[in-house]
Chains A and B, each alone.
Chain A
């Protein structure tokens, strides 16, 4: 019996000594947290985030680490799954900040997770960049929270202006999900912008449905029987596919426009020919891209086998923003609170950052000044660049 215990103790102590030796020799690493919806209702978004982040990390590793103030540091990504739920996003952020002690957090992507998670980051004074959240509340009155994309009010204006200038239409129809914060907000901002241009009553049909609905024929019939000249539907790609198909079956043959939530590689797969020729506003266009954007797209495609959607591109930009901010901070003191503060201050003053989704400038608050892109889905089902709209 006693022999057994002694043996057990020895076995347990052996790795202990080995590990303690390894612990001392370990170099300091920069930890970057990724808060992504890897499971839940939008796993494709989580996949894009993760793939993009891993590609970015491989670049850093190839360069031997991230150089800050003449010293190279290893970078470690802490990837947490927020299950596409608000409560889990808060848990994940709290864990990364207090347990893993990350320097900066990238994510969450959707506004419904980014708004509550931003509160956590702001309370713990940890910089956070949401690549994809376009809701103004995410960064409002939160000095520690940033984003890498434009805001919903801007996007609503972009679509309204684009349709007015391009087609000279004056009557719009809107179909949106009243139970989901993003489409609902965008529908409102679009309506406001459109009525400012064409006067009250120019949105002739303003129809809503509820998340999970699969049949839109009632709303679409109302839209078709109104004298709307085009339809704006700021829905997610899976819903867009159903909407455009049903609209065409009911006899709609006018233009349909959308917002950045259309910009998923899945859209054309699901909707097929029904979305050809339609437009949406987004952060970047994959087909016909030039320069660094093209390099990114080609590499990503070679690595993972699919064209990166805007989430992947924005995550890439957010990570590079973080990298620039860490480098601009000058040095790492080892005190995590000071370092976080330095990185935040550096991030808030980044000027003319050349991202693959356009140039970004921060002017003290968390929202960048950057332009939007109008994308046309061409006859081959590719997202082609149509027009750039400056703020």
Chain B
């Protein structure tokens, strides 16, 4: 009797303790968390290298020590200490100490137009990412690729999540954007053996880069009609097959276009996709896509997903809705492709095949359907995990699919699905009772 009685008691004791530990953090606003992160990254910049040396590591662990630990398990205590001193404690203490100040500022900001608060938060977020990443270029590269993955995941979620169609055409859209943007920048700013001498001075490149990206996006949009028009009358498996065919068509088109390198790939893109550029495009993508899915048209997507006939009867123009969704999603996939091409500075058709498709689908379904936050979590989580587990070699390909299966079992629609992302609510001060609720 005693044993059975003590078990729930112990559990509840742990629960009480946990609640006590977490209680102060419920009221920390986003601004406070950002302050904590900033303190943590600054701390790493200044004492990280010394601490790492003292703990027996050759350099600051790039990805929270995962790659280090998987190769040298001896360093596990060192890495744990490092993570505690550099990340966990500063973020926890920083967020707690700045809580009242952050709440005060956040409260003040609520009196001004929302964009001021948004800009401040975004700038702070950039400063955090930048301070973390510039420690070494490996992190910069990863940060860029992860942000590009966020754009891709979000745009695919518009079709697969919000509209509920199973589309496999995304690698094709990404490839179109990547090649179009690359061809434009190489044509104008690089002395290339195929496309000839640079037409414009390289000084102009950063200014015309957005134009190249947008043209890449528009190209993808245009081609997306090839999938969108058949989608008027087909759904489900049939659309999946059509869109899969589209991906293969684009891939073999590029393989046979000898002028752009064919299967050997196209290279020499100028180094234009720097960290701030990629960050800005990602913020723009998140903002615009979030507004799109929360607009009337975005709600129409959900109506089409839930019951097309009913939606049609309720004055939703399903054809227009489908076309817009495909073109809109393809546009952002194209932008992501353009950025990807300029980060890698090499594109080949082989990168946009079935492997890419599996990757983007996994990110969407891992993160969560019908959710902007879910997409961000999915893209960041999947990419970080995939990179952190790379030292495990073949076991990585057992662990990641296993995780996906587990997610599908316990959360069939993904980690954070069907959640509305309201930036105004997110950035609010957390110390008062929410009156308007």
Contacts and interface: CB of A to CB of B under 8 A. Distances in A.
Interface stretch (B109-117, B138-146, B164-172): B138-146
Contact of B345 (A98, A116, A185, A211): A116
B59 A83 contact: no
B54 interface: yes
B138 A38 contact: no
B385 interface: no
Interface stretch (A17-25, A165-173, A359-367): A17-25
Contact of A81 (B84, B138, B346, B390): B390
Interface centre among B136, B344, B346, B349 (most CB of A within 10 A): B346
Nearest to B345: A119
A81 B137 contact: no
B390 A88 contact: yes
- Provide the main secondary structure of the chain B interface: helix
A39 B251 CA distance: 23
B432 interface: no
Interface centre among A95, A100, A112 (most CB of B within 10 A): A95
Contacts of A99: 59, 62, 67, 136, 138
Interface in A163-203: 178-181, 184-185
Contacts of B252: 179, 210
A86 B351 contact: yes
Interface string B137-159: 11001100100000000000000
B255 A178 contact: yes
A91 interface: yes
A179 B255 contact: yes
B138 A95 contact: yes
B58 A100 contact: yes
Interface residues of B, number: 43
Given A86-B351, A99-B62, A116-B344, A178 B77 contact: no
How large, as a class, is the contact surface on chain A? 35 or more
Contact of B396 (A20, A39, A90): A39
A294 interface: no
Contacts of B265: 86, 112, 115-116, 181
A198 B251 CA distance: 35
Nearest to A21: B56
Given A87-B145, A91-B387, A184-B263, A112 B348 contact: yes
B53 interface: yes
A174 B26 CA distance: 69
B88 interface: no
Contacts of A101: 58-59
Interface in A61-117: 80-81, 83, 85-88, 90-92, 94-95, 97-101, 111-112, 115-116
A254 interface: no
Contacts of A92: 390
Contacts of A181: 262-265, 348, 350
B187 interface: no
A86 B78 CA distance: 33
- Provide the main secondary structure of the chain A interface: helix
Given A19-B56, A90-B344, A12 B393 contact: no
A15 interface: yes
Contacts of B56: 19-20, 22-23
B347 to A, nearest CB: 8
B382 to A, nearest CB: 14
Interface in A118-169: 119, 124, 135, 137
A16 interface: yes
Contacts of B394: 38-39, 43
B240 interface: no
A180 B251 CA distance: 12
B263 A180 contact: yes
Nearest to B262: A184
Contacts of B67: 95, 99
A119 B267 contact: yes
Contacts of B251: 179
A221 B187 CA distance: 42
Contacts of B53: 23
Contacts of A112: 264-265, 348, 350
Contacts of A91: 138, 141-142, 145, 387
A22 B223 CA distance: 60
B295 interface: no
Contact of A94 (B80, B138, B391): B138
Interface in B26-60: 53-56, 58-59
B256 interface: yes
Interface string B116-149: 0000000000000000000011100110010000
B54 A16 contact: yes
B2 interface: no
A12 B263 contact: no
B141 A115 contact: no
Given A86-B346, A91-B142, A116-B344, A137 B267 contact: yes
A83 B54 contact: no
Given A20-B54, A23-B54, A94-B138, A83 B390 contact: yes
B256 A178 contact: yes
Nearest to A1: B17
Contacts of B84: 12
A19 B346 contact: no
A87 B78 contact: no
Nearest to A41: B355
A119 B58 contact: no
B260 to A, nearest CB: 13
B397 interface: yes
Interface of A: 12, 15-16, 19-20, 22-23, 38-39, 43, 80-81, 83, 85-88, 90-92, 94-95, 97-101, 111-112, 115-116, 119, 124, 135, 137, 178-181, 184-185, 210-211
Interface of B: 53-56, 58-59, 62, 67, 77-78, 80-81, 84, 136-138, 141-142, 145, 251-252, 255-256, 262-265, 267, 344-346, 348-351, 355, 387, 390-391, 393-394, 396-397
9 contacts: A12-B77, A20-B54, A23-B54, A38-B393, A90-B346, A116-B267, A179-B251, A179-B252, A179-B255
Given A23-B55, A99-B138, A115-B265, 18 more contacts: A12-B80, A19-B54, A23-B54, A23-B56, A43-B394, A80-B391, A81-B396, A95-B67, A97-B137, A99-B62, A99-B67, A99-B136, A111-B264, A115-B264, A119-B346, A181-B262, A181-B263, A184-B263
Q: Please provide the 10 A-B residue pairs with the shortest distance between their CB atoms, ordered closest to farther.
A: A116-B346, A19-B56, A181-B264, A15-B77, A98-B137, A98-B136, A95-B138, A181-B263, A179-B255, A38-B393
